[in-house]
Amino acid sequence: MFIGHMAVGFASKRLAPQASLGVLMAAPMALDLLWPLFLLAGWEQVRIDPGNTAFTPLNFVSYPYSHSLAMSAVWGALFALLYWLVTRYAAGAVVIGFGVVSHWILDFVTHRPDLPLYPGGTARLGLGLWNSVAGTIAVESVMFAAGVWIYASITRAHDRAGTYGFRAFVAFAVVGYFANAFGAPPPSAEFLARFSLGIGLIPLWAWWFDRHQEPISPA
């Protein structure tokens, strides 16, 4: 749920307005930021398997350290604690912690039953929204539009970098989402892992244009 996770990042700004959007965006994407590192280290496995679900050709063979429910809670607690130690902004730390765990919850909705509860566990969960292309796109598009609207309703650009950086980010996310949904499968698992390292640029972009935004004072 790519743009669905980004929607959580945008919406989180309402709950933690003093936190940078870059950090708020990184939180719900955190598990996917860790995943390619663990793939390249050989700790987790994915296979390119067209037809695995209607929406994605990826077969998530094993990813207990990045995507199990227990570890998502651990990563969320660590991320929140680190943020609090640096900023002492309690509201931001709480939102960030829940943002990390929200990744597993949204993946539970979209994935077929492949999500572990904890490393070493045999149970695999998932409701399988990805078995419907139309359903997946409808749900994620509504979520993303709502997240963007929430962010835009509580912030205002104070220069062109804020205006066009935000617009370009949204456009990039939409184009990238549909290119990923309808494009060719990755040529290999290693290529996918290395390409996925680029996800780390998304929170940096969000951090940059958010610096050129200011909160809108309530009337």
Alpha carbon dihedral 173, 174, 177, 179, in 10-degree steps, equals -110
Task: Tell me the per-residue pLDDT of 30-65, one tens digit each, with 9 for 90 and over.
Answer: 999 999 999 999 999 999 999 889 999 999 999 999
pLDDT confidence bin for 2, thresholds 50/70/90: confident
CA distance 23 to 28: 9
| pLDDT at 181 exceeding the cut of 90 | no
Kindly list the domain boundaries of the chain, sorted by start residue: 2-215
CB atoms within 10 A of CB 41: 10
Please write the tens of the pLDDT for every residue from 192-216: 999 999 999 999 999 999 999 988 8
Residue type, 18: Q
Largest CA distance in the chain: 53
Quote the DSSP letter at residue 10: H
- Judged against a pLDDT cut of 70, whether residue 1 lies above it is answered with no
pLDDT per residue as tens digits for the range 98-142: 999 999 999 999 999 999 999 999 999 999 999 999 999 999 999
The predicted structure's pLDDT at residue 218 = 58
Average pLDDT for 75-95: 98
* Long-range contacts (CB closer than 8 Å, 24 or more residues apart) made by 123-129: 128/53, 129/55
Per-residue pLDDT for 79 more than 60?
yes
- Which regions of the chain does DSSP assign to beta strands (E)? 45-48, 58-62, 115-116, 124-125, 155-157, 213-215
Does residue 217 register a pLDDT over 80?
no
**Residue 6's pLDDT is what?**
97
**Contact of 45 with 62, CB cutoff 8 Å:** yes
Q: What is the pLDDT of residues 141-178, one digit of tens each?
A: 999 999 999 999 999 999 999 999 999 999 999 999 99
Task: Supply the pLDDT for residue 216.
Answer: 84
Classified as helix, coil or strand, 155 is strand
Residue recorded with tokens 């996310």: 173
Q: Report the alpha-carbon angle 16-72-188, nearest 5.
A: 115
In this prediction, residues 83-96 reach a mean pLDDT of 97
Burial 75-89 (b: 16+ CB within 10 A, else e): bbeebbeebbeeeeb
